[in-house]
A = this chain, B = another copy of it.
């Protein structure tokens, strides 16, 4: 009987413990809901790219995931497998249909993607553009390299390599907005700052190593005074470097590339690429997630754009970029 009473007492104590903690956990979880910068794992943000399998997007996705971890929300990665406008539109439409908490898109073509971007916006799904903008769309903001500025930096670097003297060409993907901007920034800076230089050709390398190589070989043949080629994306730079080598012009034609993938860094190391512009793709993903989360939870207004910056990579500092990869 005494023992039974002790048991009752303990049970009573444990019961109050249970009640107390139940109330407490209720309070904790309601506090959690009020914590202004904590989301729910059911809140899913989707990153949409093109050529979705390439190494290039990995660091941006890591930034997106790091942002999601900070806010306790989920992410999903989608994209067109190929370099295909229609495929990317289809993927984006599928993502919109699932009504995610937000979408970060890198647009393969600014005009073609705009209707689908605007559809997301009109359905109340926050959408931001990263890396390649669609500036006439209703997307909330753009996060990425200021590509006009990056093109201008490439022109200044080219001028330094060429002692401000000589003919140059650009190999690019003319339909993608970020590439257009890099090309314009390069052309304008040469035109305005370097009277003894000129851009005598802008060619379509289709974002492809082989096409870029062919284009470069053709222009090197056609314009024997060519002194420098700026490739506005990584595959192009590798193709151009091969063309310069094949034409026996190594050391006579300077190649400037874009991005810091391993093959480009190898090109810098072996001298076939003189310089490349490194983008901070991790930041693009990280701030995309931030902006989408804040659009959902708080912000009265978002920035017009966020410039994630570029760094010039040459033989002098290339080792640092291997180390950080």
Complex interface: chain B residues within 8 A of A37 (CB): 37-38, 70-71
Q: Shortest CB–CB separation between residue A262 and chain B, in angstroms?
A: 20
From known contacts A9-B5, A10-B9, A70-B37, infer whether A282 and B307 are also in contact, taking CB-CB under 8 Å. Answer: no
Chain A positions 269-325 with a Cβ under 8 Å from a chain B Cβ: 280, 282-283, 286-287, 298-310
Query: Can you tell how many copies of this chain the complex includes?
Result: 2
Is A246 at the interface (CB under 8 A from chain B)? no
Q: Shortest CB–CB separation between residue A135 and chain B, in angstroms?
A: 12
Q: Which residue of B lies closest to A71 (CB)?
A: B37
Is A200 at the interface (CB under 8 A from chain B)? no
Contact of A303 among B5, B9, B283 (CB under 8 A): B283
Q: Shortest CB–CB separation between residue A205 and chain B, in angstroms?
A: 27
Is A97 at the interface (CB under 8 A from chain B)? no
Binary flags per residue of A188-220, CB closer than 8 Å to B gives 1, else 0: 000000000000000000000000000000000
Complex interface: chain B residues within 8 A of A283 (CB): 301-303
Q: Which residue of B lies closest to A36 (CB)?
A: B70
A11 to B13, CA, bound (A): 7
- Given A17-B20, A35-B35, A305-B309, 11 more A-B residue pairs with CB atoms under 8 Å apart are A5-B9, A6-B6, A6-B9, A9-B11, A16-B17, A37-B37, A37-B70, A280-B301, A303-B309, A304-B310, A307-B307
